[in-house]
Structure 1
Amino acid sequence: MNGTAGICNHCRNTIREKEKMSRHISTGPSSFIPENEIIGAMPLSDSTVMLLDEEFSGRMDNLTQVMGLHPHYLQAFLRCHYYLLRMDGPLPLHYRHYIAIMAAARHQCSTLVCHHVQEFEQIGVCSDWLRGLEFCPQRLRNLNEINKILAHRPWLITKQHIQALVKTGEHSWSLAELVHAVVLLAHFHALASFVFGSGVNPDPEVTEVNGVTGDLCPPVMKGLCTCHLTNSNQANGNPNTGSELEALMERMKRLLEEREDDDASEEEMFTRFEKEKKESLLVVSAGFDEEVVPPSPVARFVDDPSFGYQDFARHGEDNPPTFKAQDYSWEDHGFSLVNRLYSDIGHLLDDKFRTACDLTYYNMASHEGVDTSMLRRALFNYVHCMYGIRYDDYDYGEVNQLLERSLKVYIKTVTCYPERTTCRMYESYWHQFRHSEKVHVNLLLMEARMQAELLYALRAITHYMT
């Protein structure tokens, strides 16, 4: 088999086994999660069913079926998603779907690209645009720069990028239009993370639209040697697997007790953040060359494909300044700006962020009555830490205590280069946890990523306006 040439026998056999499994599982909504664990999940509310009727004619596509493991979140997501794409707003409908295509294509997410190509075709205008970026208006092409920066290195966005878009003569954007576009870009970048992180399968009816194939697995993934991802606690009969959950529970209990006695100074809290930020440099998905850009069926919608994620603080370089959350937060700054320029979207985004972060069933795997707020905040704040965003009231020492290395590898991959995510990465952490709990992790990663992108973009818009 050509795809396994040049890798070790262990991984060659593992890949063959995974391929057999994927052929069995891939008929359902997810290639990572058995279909019977998704179908017949918790019942949906009447308002969620109504949204599904509006958006999907009552049919749940694979993406919403996987999200349906958490019906309360799905309702908040659908309200926001529907408003962005369907309701009155600064941008015309065909622009919205084309921007969705541009955003999803940055991560080679052909599942989303196919869906919105189909949506664009149904509108019945400007069909030439689907031939590639060079065929769409200059006004849309001007979004390429902010699209790639938001997707991969949002901390680089400045007021000059905003100025270039709103002061370009006949191709200029109004601030309201630009906010709508920015929210769409961030929404679909983050949604691509969820699609890859949860192994969402393409829907059969949109697997090939206008020449774009909905292959979830890019060619680069087929022959990846995954020895470096093997966790010593793999659920393969290893007796240590059973103690993984107990150890995490014990660490949570200990950290809660230590919080009461910890009177760390502001300097010490900053040092803990810097340590975690620098350690995130060492969390890598080994086996990839960041300069290699695999061929993609959605390449015609991508400008500058070699531009990708780089760590916020790279070795041997001047570090960009830390984004201090107290200086520009979603609650105090971003929410009001976005709501002022794009009516009501701030409320919908805020509801979606809060729902993902507050969502709990008070259990962890087989344990019930558990307060998981500490773990949820560690997941959310770790994503923001990788993006250089610091909360001065949070002890980043908790991140290392709560998030094992294989989970950090998974988080960084799903958040920063989701197209590299593999089933093996998904299976490498939290072996005793339910699939629904891992999907909740992906909801947190998705919302943390989207909020980080929006904070950088909205701060740049604020700087431009002032």
Structure 2
Amino acid sequence: MCCHAEYLAVFTRTQHFIMRGDGPLPFDVRHYIAIMAAGRHQSSVVVDQLKDEFLTNGGQAQWLDGIHLAPKKLRDLNEVNKILAHRPWLLNKAHIERLVRGRDNWSLGELLQALTILAHYHAVCSFVHGCRVFSDAPEASTSPALGTPNGVRPHSKCVSSPPRGVPVGELMQKMQTLSQQQSSAAALTAAERSVSYDRLDADTAMLQPRLVGGDDTRLAIDADNVCEDFSRRGETSAAATFRVQDYNWEDHGFSLVNRLYSDVGELLDEKFRTAYNLTYQTMGSFRAVDTSLFRRAVWCHIQCLFGIRHDDYDYTVVNQLLDRSLKAFIKTVCVCPERLEPAKLRRVMDGFQLSEKVHVAILCLEARLQSELLYALRAVMCYTT
């Protein structure tokens, strides 16, 4: 994240607040919940760091031998952890009700902090696994920075050698054509936008990552709950499409999380906006580029993977701007990052600067995080109303 100092600053503030700031949960419990989350995606680097923090904050070492040795209150959270990580669209008010009622119950404030930690670390694992692909890429060498803000040079590892311009040049032409079409053509009807979403959803279901081995964390891996597409090829989803116009972060999620878990909403909101709006007006070796079409295509594609639909977006743009290898990368990183095979994705985003590739990994982190939080917060709202 050193490639993007502005984003790194707000990410660090948010993570510090979640793990060490004001909140109802003790520090050791927060870190154990984070271990549960990172274990779902077999991220040994993240899990090992969190284990050290857990023990430093007075955590019981025997809990690390398996979740069956943790208190019942934490064991009860495991089902929600699985659902959020792999099928968040299935989370409903019954799951919330089981946690906040009865013996060893969670208060709503405690549960909101726990849900935030789970979603945060699921998304962090997506970023960490995704960056493995870029760190292994052959062009990840040093050279002068292109288009960095205010004359600031990123860390040397964040700058790639001068990229080939052909793939990026073709993308630039497509963006220019789309921009002209959108400014001159009449807006699509609601029905046409719905069809464009359904087609992208069907296309996405055909991108199937291969299962590869991973580390056993003993805290999360089991056979009864693995990653699953919102829509599988030839099948109807078990859940209705989540329409952002009916429940969204700005109008609904932000106020609920701020009410039950004070101040974290402001930090999350700043982090979402910073990641989404981040641009240095460069794309590969090109300067003075409006990258908004590309950034929005990435964001909307990620949320489509989680069954979230923006009614005002034309999803045909995704297929025009994101090639198949990039869509496959994004799907694997966001849905099942433990299945990434870096050797097979070494040429993804060929021609882009390394810092620009990292930005896509950041978008994967933030769009996934927002998606999980929207499902979690909607379930909490349904319970409280």
Q: TM-score, normalised by structure 2?
A: 0.89
Q: What is the distance in 2 between the residues matched to 1:316 and 1:278?
A: 8
SS in 1 for 2:348: coil
Assess if the C-alpha contact under 8 Å between 2:325 and 2:345 holds in 1: no
Q: What is the distance in 2 between the residues matched to 1:317 and 1:282?
A: 12
Instruction: Name the aligned partner's letter for residue 114 of structure 1.
Output: D
* Aligned counterpart, 1:335: 254
Alignment of 1:404-443 (within 5 A): 404-443=323-362
1:196 aligns to 2:126 (yes or no): no
1:117 aligns to 2:36 (yes or no): no
Alignment of 1:180-191 (within 5 A): 180-191=113-124
Distance 1:404 1:136, change over 3 A: same
* CA deviations over 1:221-264 (Å, ceiling 9, x no partner): xxxxxxxxxxxxxxxxxxxx642111100000000011121321
Q: Which runs of 5+ in 2 are unaligned?
A: 137-163
Assess if the C-alpha contact under 8 Å between 2:166 and 2:351 holds in 1: no
Q: What is the distance in 1 between the residues matched to 2:344 and 2:374?
A: 29
Assess if the C-alpha contact under 8 Å between 2:133 and 2:345 holds in 1: no
1:259 aligns to 2:193 (yes or no): no
* CA deviations over 1:133-162 (Å, ceiling 9, x no partner): 111101000011100000011000010010
* Aligned counterpart, 1:315: 233
Instruction: Name the aligned partner's letter for residue 76 of structure 2.
Output: N
* Aligned counterpart, 1:347: 266
* Aligned counterpart, 2:103: 170
Instruction: Name the aligned partner's letter for residue 178 of structure 2.
Output: L
* Aligned counterpart, 2:145: none
Assess if the C-alpha contact under 8 Å between 2:93 and 2:383 holds in 1: yes
Q: What is the distance in 2 between the residues matched to 1:133 and 1:460?
A: 25
* Aligned counterpart, 1:447: 366
Instruction: Name the aligned partner's letter for residue 72 of structure 2.
Output: Q
| 2:112 corresponds to which of 147, 156, 179 | 179
Instruction: Name the aligned partner's letter for residue 307 of structure 1.
Output: N
Alignment of 1:142-153 (within 5 A): 142-153=76-87
SS in 1 for 2:103: helix
Work out the number of aligned pairs and report it. 355
Alignment of 1:389-404 (within 5 A): 389-404=308-323
| Larger of the two Rg values belongs to structure | 1
* Aligned counterpart, 1:159: 93
* Aligned counterpart, 1:107: 41
Assess if the C-alpha contact under 8 Å between 1:144 and 1:303 holds in 2: no
Assess if the C-alpha contact under 8 Å between 2:193 and 2:314 holds in 1: yes
TM-superposed CA distance for 1:297, in Å, is 3.2
Q: What is the distance in 1 between the residues matched to 2:72 and 2:100?
A: 13
Q: What is the distance in 2 between the residues matched to 1:270 and 1:375?
A: 20
* Aligned counterpart, 2:146: none
TM-superposed CA distance for 1:426, in Å, is 4.1
Instruction: Name the aligned partner's letter for residue 196 of structure 1.
Output: H
- State the identity as a percent: 48
TM-superposed CA distance for 1:425, in Å, is 4.4
Q: What is the distance in 2 between the residues matched to 1:438 and 1:324?
A: 29
1:70 aligns to 2:4 (yes or no): yes
* Aligned counterpart, 1:277: 201
1:301 aligns to 2:225 (yes or no): no
* Aligned counterpart, 2:375: 456
TM-superposed CA distance for 1:387, in Å, is 0.8
* Aligned counterpart, 1:130: 64
Q: What is the distance in 2 between the residues matched to 1:441 and 1:200?
A: 12
* Aligned counterpart, 2:287: 368
Instruction: Name the aligned partner's letter for residue 141 of structure 1.
Output: R
Distance 1:200 1:68, change over 3 A: farther
Q: What is the distance in 1 between the residues matched to 2:182 and 2:318?
A: 14
* Aligned counterpart, 1:243: 166
* CA deviations over 1:268-320 (Å, ceiling 9, x no partner): 111111111111011122x43xxxx846331x111534411111112343322
* Aligned counterpart, 2:161: none
Assess if the C-alpha contact under 8 Å between 1:106 and 1:305 holds in 2: no
Assess if the C-alpha contact under 8 Å between 2:37 and 2:118 holds in 1: yes
Q: TM-score, normalised by structure 1?
A: 0.74
Assess if the C-alpha contact under 8 Å between 1:407 and 1:428 holds in 2: no
* Aligned counterpart, 1:96: 30
* Aligned counterpart, 2:151: none
Q: What is the distance in 1 between the residues matched to 2:384 and 2:70?
A: 28
Alignment of 1:9-88 (within 5 A): 67-88=1-22
* CA deviations over 1:385-419 (Å, ceiling 9, x no partner): 11110111111110000000000110011111101
Instruction: Name the aligned partner's letter for residue 120 of structure 1.
Output: F
Which has the higher relative contact order, 1 or 2, with Cα contacts under 8 A spaced 6 or more apart?
2
TM-superposed CA distance for 1:174, in Å, is 0.6
Assess if the C-alpha contact under 8 Å between 1:133 and 1:141 holds in 2: yes
Q: What is the distance in 1 between the residues matched to 2:264 and 2:114?
A: 12
Instruction: Name the aligned partner's letter for residue 153 of structure 1.
Output: R
* CA deviations over 1:83-119 (Å, ceiling 9, x no partner): 0011110111111000010000000001111001000
Q: What is the distance in 1 between the residues matched to 2:132 and 2:186?
A: 40
